Amino acid sequence: MLPTLVLASSSPWRREILDKLGLPYRTKHPEIDETPLPNESASALVARLAEEKARAVAPYYKNALVIGSDQAAVLNGQIIGKPGTHKRAVEQLQAASGQSVTFLTGLCLLNTRTGRTQVETVPFHVHFRQLTDAMIEAYLEHEQPYNCAGSFRSEGAGIVLFERLEGDDPNTLIGLPLIRLIRMLEAEGVAPF
């Protein structure tokens, strides 16, 4: 019997990405503490949280492949989170103007039957244009990305802020690296289509 595929997330964007594979799946919100550990790097943080999300959901399923994912944006060595407010979004975009922001996405696939985990951190680089205050205000008024790390939505109008994008899989920027996930699923005997 094929394992149940479970997305340990309540993110509508991750669901939309996973829908591309055409595989049936369930979702379950993981209840975890996402506070970074002292001196934890962004790469270690997202890998740890992706695995913790998968492990938090795993006890609810006996024969499942549980997908956990977490993302952090890094600018000049510092993690920048979700702005929450207009003022903070303006500050984040001003700081990103003319700079590169690296998005690190932790991905975990946990087989609840065997206990096997596969964990990877996948980078994606966003190179910002020189942004004027007027551009930033117009963008924020249009998109209101206050719950998005880095203060933009690349799947929306955020693309106007970029000089170029660099990475293996554009889905990574939105929060679920499908190319890596497909390899992990295939290693567990599950293939899309």
List, by residue number, the catalytic residues. 70
Going through the chain in order, the beta strands assigned E by DSSP cover: 4-7, 26-27, 64-75, 78-80, 100-111, 117-128, 162-166
Per the CB < 8 A criterion, the answer to whether 165 and 106 are in contact is: no
DSSP letter string over 140-171? HHHH--TTSGGG--TTTGGGGGEEEEESS-HH
> 10: helix, coil or strand?
coil
State the distance between the two ends of the chain, measured CA to CA, in whole angstroms: 17
Going by the DSSP 8-state scheme, the letter that residue 110 receives in this structure is E
Per the CB < 8 A criterion, the answer to whether 21 and 182 are in contact is: yes
How far CA 36 is from CA of 41, 79, 95, in Å, comes to 9, 10, 22
